[in-house]
Structure 1
């Protein structure tokens, strides 16, 4: 996929995150492109969503796979994952929002889906490993650490989209806020 295609998908992902119920015409407007440009990429809103989901899912898998959650020192792995997720923040935010809305519309609990469970299991196992190594607090459930980290990332991304924080400050802010409460005393 070309850099221009990725930028277009990123703009569309951001537009759908902010305006999840947009029509195709509204989506083009929110993404700052013409309807003709959007039609060249996809003929329907569903096709747009499918293309974004496919790219975003691959980018998310790469971020997790390349962070070293299973074998790198925990603080190094957490930094790599945070940096990677914030680098793809438009896609990560889109996946979270789209996943939530899709399953809520179906009357399903979004947290119970295999997609959600797959990633939460990986982050949960990572925090458990970090606790066992004495890096993260052992008096806090590791699943709670995983969910807190996830929600902190999403909140940070939303704040950046609203212009409340600068993109360059995001990794440091996530690490300071999260680790300030998650680090074991001796780490």
Structure 2
């Protein structure tokens, strides 16, 4: 008669599977951050698993890329949640942009991988939390009278995000020095959001 299943077999197998998944996602983050076109073979090799194991956990490349995006954005959200967003909206936004830049280089490479794999709507959903922080600060700045009100807020939020990703791409391509990026982003966003003066010279 065969051996009866051990009561610990189920939990042990789940723990093994979770470790395998974590190893694959970690390897995929490293690979896709360096090369958004990295193949699943490259990722499996970096994770130290076979193709069958990788596809056992992630049936498609899209499944794996989404898991990587979720993992990276969760880490980014944890870092940004620690930023002090109290006080003057402009100063708070400066602090948020400075902290956002610290995680943007990896995020931009992963975004490139995602854009070739995931639907645009899913990418927007995954980036909802970072966008919401920017939107809340812009709304506060408008209420304070320091940010412009003559453009749609969704356009301004998107413009800020495009600037962050664009600057990250410039540094990855070595067209901009990393130490310049934060200063240039802050200056550009300040200029973009500044309330324009009315014809009589007052700021609105």
TM over 0.5: yes
1:110-169 deviations in whole A, cap 9, x for unaligned? Answer: 46x533334333322221111111221122222211110000111111111101000111
Q: 1:134 aligns with which of 113, 125, 145?
A: 145
Q: 1:184 aligns to what SS in structure 2?
A: coil
1:55-109 deviations in whole A, cap 9, x for unaligned? Answer: 412222124322344x3422222222222222112332145334433433xxx63
Say whether the 8 Å CA contact 1:63–1:81 is kept in structure 2: no
Q: 1:12 aligns with which of 27, 31, 50?
A: 31
1:1-187 matched pairs, under 5 angstroms: 11-17=30-36, 19=37, 22-26=38-42, 35=45, 37-39=46-48, 44=54, 46=58, 49=65, 52-69=68-85, 71-104=86-119, 109-110=121-122, 114-185=125-196
Q: Take 1:9 and 1:170, find their aligned partners in 2: how far apart are those partners? A: 26
Q: Take 1:120 and 1:15, find their aligned partners in 2: how far apart are those partners? A: 25
Q: Take 2:117 and 2:95, find their aligned partners in 1: how far apart are those partners? A: 29
Q: How many residues align?
A: 168
Q: 1:44 aligns to what SS in structure 2?
A: helix
Q: Take 2:81 and 2:183, find their aligned partners in 1: how far apart are those partners? A: 22
Say whether the 8 Å CA contact 1:135–1:183 is kept in structure 2: yes
Tell me the TM-score normalized by structure 2.
0.65
1:24 to partner: Cα distance: 3.4
Match of 2:7 in 1: none
Tell me the TM-score normalized by structure 1.
0.70
